[in-house]
Structure 1
Amino acid sequence: MAFEPPERLVRALGETYGDAQAGPWLGRLPGLAEESAARRGLAVDRVQAPGGRSSLVALVRRPDGAPAALKVAPPFARPDLERAALAHWNGWGAARLMEEDAPDDALLLERLHPEVSLRSLPEAKALLEAAGTVRRLWVEPPGGHGFESVAERTERQSVPMRGAESGEFAPLVTAALAARDELASSAAELMLLHGNFRQSKVLSGERAPWLTVGPEPLVGERAYDLARLVRDRVEDLIAAPSGASAARRRVKKLADSLDVDPERLHGWTLFRAVESGLRAGAAGRHRDAELLLEFAGWL
């Protein structure tokens, strides 16, 4: 079977890491995926499409016929850290690793139902299930871990933002950076976080109704992890007449339901929305940028 990378993966890796770094790996990807499947004796049902933004995922069957998913990601996307986080969660709220000793960097995972995520539910129900799922992931990190901290990741993300402080969205960028600096310097929690938690990262499963996939793990405070969820279905919020007030209510509702400081959640939501909006604009995704920055302005 041909393991051709989905267009979404090609576009996203180029945007995130640059074509010079992503291009050579994408060229090798079909061979890498075929080798990973062969080493494990896997029969491939199909490549998941449109798939994720940082890896190729193939739905496979193990030698005994049991279903699984094979995830092949570039080393610069740090699949080793995803493996470490999934091993630490050990299936608690997240997809389970299906092998103890991997022969390469690919991940063999419990197969979920990629076509059924929390986005298939009505908004109120989806947020309720999302809150219950992410709560399970917030545990103490393993000793001697190699995960970066929220402060480290957001400092790296801040670098290109500082060049936009004199641009069209200068007041918004300045406010987001100020919020980040204050929050990063005053955080008291050190929990293992998903890093990119949102409704589309929570899939239906057989072992449990809902399980998380695709972590970009780091350690820090829970409010950071919750901030991405606040802007889920942002296009619906923008289109609603009461979108601005609904966005602010969502911050308070999620903070209350998960015992998170609403001011800290507000600050991280602002920073993450502005950072994502500027990055989308730089990549030419102007509609996404417009939605995210309008949302951030409501906060």
Structure 2
Amino acid sequence: MLLIPEGFAQHTIDREGEPGRAWLASLPDLADELLHRWQCVRTTDPVVHGMVGLVLPVHRADGTPAMLKISFPHHGNVHEPDAFAAWRGRGAVRLLERDDPRFAMLLERAGESTLAQLPSADEAMAVAGQLARRLAVPAPPALPRLRDRIPEWQEQLPKDAARLGHPLPARTLDAALATLRELGPDQPDTLLHGDLHANNVLRADREPWLAVDPKGWAGDPAYDAYTTLRSRAHDLLTATDVRTALLRRLTIFAEAADCAPERAVRWAQFRATMAAHWGRDNGEPEWMVAAYETMAGLLA
């Protein structure tokens, strides 16, 4: 019997309401059906989860370890299997089976340690940049393009600022809007991870590091620098010179990813601005919102 982690279940219900509750109730039968169809058996390893997906460690019929992932039907997960299929194991776990209507996949199993556990944040930025370079393959035509979201963001940013009482200096907001105006339309059709934070990069044997949980977007590889930067920011804001530390880490990522450091800085500034607004809007802790605002201001 599948025991669903309590925290995952509560978060799903809080976020999705009755549809989330119904989906959770369907999970044990769905997992059994997929295990049978894909000829897998569960191991004794614990079930793990992210924000919207549950992951069950399994063995395939030939004894090969794998992971059965079932996600709540969520727009952010629609193109996850498409990204895995395009990479074919290049810098990411391999896609072994897929059931798109049920948001389910059978994936290659990687290790348990993550990029978040590397002692050196600079090394983590370099690893993430190298991985971003490997993942930057031509994007399938059906994947959403980041450039198509630019008009929405251009409209949203000033509206959010006004509604929230203009919490950021005008200079910071202007810099974010300039990035959208100047970098937004001109992006390559390369595949992006879209959520390359440190816990989405796992140690592995086939390659030193493999990515999981992609969003599957097409656009500028420099866009992903911010996610890794933010996920390793616990020591960043205590640096003697925070701006220099920010620029150093973004440059490390950009050089490893073979993209222009200026683009990594500008996308990071825009994304920190968006995060600051979102954090205020959604009641994130004040220290976290302050961190986003600091990054947005220093990179402007």
What is the TM-score when the length of structure 2 is the normalising length? 0.85
Structure 1 residue 72: Cα displacement = 0.5
The C-alpha deviation readout for 1:194-234, integer Å capped at 9, x for no partner, is: 11112221101122221110100111112212332233311
Give, as a single letter, the amino acid of the residue that structure 1 aligns with 2:125.
Answer: L
Contact 1:3 1:29 survives alignment (8 Å): no
**Count of residue pairs the alignment pairs up:** 292
Q: Which residue of 2 aligns with 1:123?
A: 121
Deviation at 1:80, TM superposition (A): 4.3
What's the secondary structure of 2:205's corresponding residue? coil
Q: SS of the residue aligned with 1:231?
A: helix
Structure-2 residue corresponding to 1:237: 236
Could you tell me which runs of 5 or more consecutive residues in structure 1 were left unpaired when the two chains were aligned. none
Aligned match of 2:160: 164
Any conservation in 1 of the 2:35–2:41 contact (CA below 8 Å)?
Answer: yes
Q: Name the residue aligned to 1:258.
A: 257
8 A Cα contact 1:82 1:216, kept in partner? yes
Q: Which ranges in structure 2 are unaligned for 5 or more consecutive residues?
A: none
- Alpha-carbon deviations, 1:123-143, whole Å to 9, x = none? 23222222222211001123x
2:70 aligned residue: 72
**How far apart are the structure 1 equivalents of 2:20 and 2:273?**
25
Question: Of residues 122, 130, 141 in structure 2, which corresponds to 1:132?
Answer: 130
Give the alignment of 1:43-82 within 5 angstroms.
Answer: 43-45=41-43, 46-49=45-48, 51-77=49-75, 79-82=77-80
- Superposition pairs of residues 282-297 of structure 1, within 5 angstroms: 282-286=281-285, 287-297=287-297
Q: Which residue of 2 aligns with 1:36?
A: 34
Aligned to 1:95: 93
Q: Which residue of 148, 152, 159 corresponds with 2:148?
A: 152
Output aligned runs, 1:174-253, within 5 Å: 174-185=174-185, 187-253=186-252
Q: Specify which structure has the bigger relative contact order, considering alpha-carbon pairs within 8 angstroms and separated by 6 or more residues.
A: 2
- Deviation at 1:148? 0.8
Query: 1:218-252: per-residue Cα shift (whole Å, max 9, x none)?
Result: 11112212332233311211122322220022223
Aligned residue identity for 1:91? G
Contact kept in structure 1, 2:196 and 2:227, CA below 8 Å: yes
Aligned to 1:108: 106
Report the AA paired with residue 59 of structure 1.
P
TM-score (norm: length of structure 1): 0.85
Give the aligned residue type for 2:264: L
Q: d(CA) in 1 for partners of 2:255 and 2:178?
A: 24
> Residue 4 of structure 2 aligns with which residue?
4
What CA distance in whole angstroms lies between the structure 1 residues aligned with 2:280 and 2:166?
12
Residues 164 and 173 of structure 1 are in contact (CA less than 8 Å); yes or no, is this contact kept in structure 2?
Answer: no
Q: Is the 8 A contact 1:57 1:72 kept in 2?
A: yes
Letter in 1 for 2:11: R
**Residue identity matched to 1:164:** D
Calculate percent identity across the aligned residue pairs.
32
